[in-house]
């Protein structure tokens, strides 16, 4: 059963039942009031007649009754008068048990009854005038019952009109209430089919707030869906790039190995090819370590300590000293930091990756400058090179795994395009940020920004 129909019935049925109950109670109360008024009128008439009888004396009672009876008869009131068990006057039209009525009379008590005969309604009042004399007054009360019947008929007509009006109002209310729900249902159907372009009308009502939450939910679902799609695409791209990067050194190793096995080579040539095999093996090993670190961020926790930056920079310089010498590049370190709160190994690795990246793009005789300082409650490590610089387009992509601005130069230097991706991951782990400032022809500055 549809909600709109349930609302429709929920309004109509209780309203109709309430109207019927209230109408019947009002009619019954009005009828009882009218009956009571007629009873009081009959009793009052009996009292008036008794007063006349007592005032005129017992010898003229029949004459008095005959004299006043026509006036009462015009009002629909009939009189039965008996004395010493003999009926002296009776103009009553209705059958009744006189003895029973008289036997129910007590002193100063007016015994009243309501009766029906051939669909005619009347009320009786029996009373004792004095010893041996009894008076019965009968009044037609058809008008009271006619009034009740008319009220019932009028209530039926009015009830029909009210039922139609209530049904119309209930229909409008049910449609008004369920219209936004129907709209939400339609939009949810669209959402289930992957259409996130949903704009429900918002407001301050319950439905308006529900619509606002629904809009927010659709936007969040769209965002998360886009993230999943992007993650799936990135994952596939990562796998494709990894396959390509792993295939290149493996092919070289296989080729040199086969050449050494089959060709008649000199010791010098063998030494040269073994060096190629060693370099390619180191390249695979380096790639393996970096891939492990990328996964480390998601699968492990790490312990933060106050890292001594003087010691860290000394270790970095010692590790890269031979590489700097072979590249003909000078490393200048300006350190104003005592400590950085984080993982020592990861901080050294991220800084080393930036320096290695700078060495790869630097010409002989150029300089790499490291500035480490604190500003605005944040700590910074800047690595500035004098290389060719990076375009704005490449800056947006350079932290993606396996992405390289100069693919030929990177391959020549053994790079796999993972260094900056590693740095970004390390900074994410430290709730920090990797920033890049660069301009073509003017070098680049890579900034590690740590929270205080």
Among 156, 177, 204, residue at a domain's last position: 156
Q: What's the alpha-carbon Rg for the chain, to the nearest Å? A: 55
Both tokens assigned to 348: 């050294």
Task: Give yes or no: residues 405 and 276 share one domain.
Answer: no
Task: Give yes or no: residues 329 and 285 share one domain.
Answer: no
Which pLDDT score is estimated for 196? 65
* pLDDT above 80: residue 28: yes
Task: Give yes or no: residues 294 and 307 share one domain.
Answer: no
Task: Give yes or no: residues 283 and 318 share one domain.
Answer: no
Task: Give yes or no: residues 283 and 350 share one domain.
Answer: no
Query: CA separation (Å) from 167 to 10, 81, 360?
Result: 11, 59, 83
List, in sequence order, the alpha helices (H) in 300-417: 309-327, 344-361, 392-395, 407-412
Task: Give yes or no: residues 338 and 271 share one domain.
Answer: no
Among 156, 187, 210, residue at a domain's last position: 156
C-alpha triplet 288, 289, 294: angle, nearest 5°: 95
Task: Give yes or no: residues 274 and 139 share one domain.
Answer: no
pTM (2 d.p.): 0.43
Asked if residue 187 is part of any domain, the answer here is: no
Asked if residue 363 is part of any domain, the answer here is: yes
pLDDT band at residue 279 using 50, 70 and 90 as cut-offs:
confident
pLDDT band at residue 328 using 50, 70 and 90 as cut-offs:
very high
Q: Give the chain's mean pLDDT.
A: 79
* pLDDT above 80: residue 169: yes
Asked if residue 169 is part of any domain, the answer here is: no
Helix (H) or strand (E) holding 78: strand 77-83
Higher pLDDT, 123 or 289: 123
* pLDDT above 90: residue 59: no
Tally of structural domains, the chain: 3
* pLDDT above 80: residue 235: no
Task: Give yes or no: residues 117 and 73 share one domain.
Answer: yes
Average pLDDT over residues 365-376: 93
Asked if residue 179 is part of any domain, the answer here is: no
Asked if residue 190 is part of any domain, the answer here is: no
Judge contact between 139 and 41, C-beta under 8 A. yes
pLDDT band at residue 414 using 50, 70 and 90 as cut-offs:
very low
Do β-strands 378-385 and 77-83 pair in parallel, antiparallel, or remain unpaired?
Answer: unpaired
Q: What is the CATH number of the domain that holds 14?
A: 3.30.450.20
Whole-number Å distance between alpha carbons of 232 and 50: 110
Domain extent, residue 254, equals: 196-300
Whole-number Å distance between alpha carbons of 208 and 40: 63
Please state, as a whole number, how many other Cβ atoms lie within 10 Å of the Cβ of residue 396.
Answer: 12
Asked if residue 58 is part of any domain, the answer here is: yes
Asked if residue 369 is part of any domain, the answer here is: yes
Q: What is the CATH number of the domain that holds 402?
A: 3.30.565.10
Q: What confidence tens digit (pLDDT) does each residue in 66-124 have?
A: 888 888 888 889 998 888 878 888 888 888 777 777 777 776 677 788 888 777 888 88
Both tokens assigned to 223: 């965002």
Judge contact between 402 and 242, C-beta under 8 A. yes
Asked if residue 26 is part of any domain, the answer here is: yes
pLDDT band at residue 309 using 50, 70 and 90 as cut-offs:
very high
Whole-number Å distance between alpha carbons of 370 and 330: 11
- Among candidate residues 138, 128, 105, 140, the one with its CA nearest the CA of residue 53: 128
Task: Give yes or no: residues 116 and 64 share one domain.
Answer: yes
């Amino acid at each position: 059963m549809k909600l709109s129909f349930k609302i429709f019935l929920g309004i109509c049925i209780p309203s109709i039942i309430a109207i019927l109950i209230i109408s019947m109670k009002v009619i019954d109360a009005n009828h009882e009031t009218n009956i009571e008024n007629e009873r009081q009128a009959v009793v009052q008439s009996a009292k008036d007649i008794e007063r006349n009888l007592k005032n005129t004396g017992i010898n003229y009672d029949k004459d008095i009754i005959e004299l006043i009876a026509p006036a009462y008869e015009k009002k629909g009131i009939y009189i039965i008068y008996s004395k010493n068990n003999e009926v002296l006057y009776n103009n009553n039209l209705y059958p009744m048990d006189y003895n029973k009525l008289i036997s129910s009379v007590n002193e100063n008590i007016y015994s009243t009854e309501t009766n029906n005969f051939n669909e005619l309604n009347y009320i009786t009042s029996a009373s004792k005038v004095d010893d041996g004399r009894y008076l019965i007054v009968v009044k037609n009360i058809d008008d009271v019952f006619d009034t009740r019947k008319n009220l019932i008929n009028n209530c039926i007509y009015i009830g029909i009109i009210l039922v139609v009006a209530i049904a119309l109002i209930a229909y409008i209310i049910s449609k008004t209430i369920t219209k936004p729900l129907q709209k939400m249902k339609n939009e949810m159907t669209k959402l289930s089919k992957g259409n996130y372009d949903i704009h429900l009308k918002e407001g301050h009502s319950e439905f308006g707030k529900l619509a606002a939450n629904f809009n927010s939910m659709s936007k969040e679902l769209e965002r998360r869906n886009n993230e999943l799609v992007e993650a799936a695409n990135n994952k596939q791209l990562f796998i494709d790039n990894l396959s390509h990067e792993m295939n290149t050194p493996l092919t070289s190793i296989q080729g040199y190995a086969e050449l050494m096995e089959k060709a008649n080579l000199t010791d010098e040539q063998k030494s040269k090819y073994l060096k190629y095999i060693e370099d390619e093996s180191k390249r695979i090993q380096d790639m393996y370590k970096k891939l492990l670190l990328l996964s480390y961020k998601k699968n492990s926790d790490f312990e933060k300590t106050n890292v001594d930056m003087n010691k860290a920079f000394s270790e970095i310089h010692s590790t890269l000293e031979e590489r700097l010498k072979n590249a003909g590049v000078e490393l200048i370190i300006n350190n104003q930091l005592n400590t950085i709160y984080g993982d020592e190994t990861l901080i050294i690795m991220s800084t080393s990756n930036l320096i290695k990246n700078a060495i790869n793009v630097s010409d002989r005789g150029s300089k790499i400058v490291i500035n480490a300082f604190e500003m605005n409650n944040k700590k910074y490590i800047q690595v500035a090179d004098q290389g060719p610089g990076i375009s704005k387009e490449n800056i947006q992509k350079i932290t993606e795994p396996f992405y390289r601005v100069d693919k030929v130069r990177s391959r020549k230097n053994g790079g796999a395009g993972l260094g900056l991706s590693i740095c970004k991951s390390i900074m994410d782990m430290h709730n920090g940020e990797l920033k890049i400032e660069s301009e073509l022809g003017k070098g680049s500055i890579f900034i590690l920004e740590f929270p205080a």
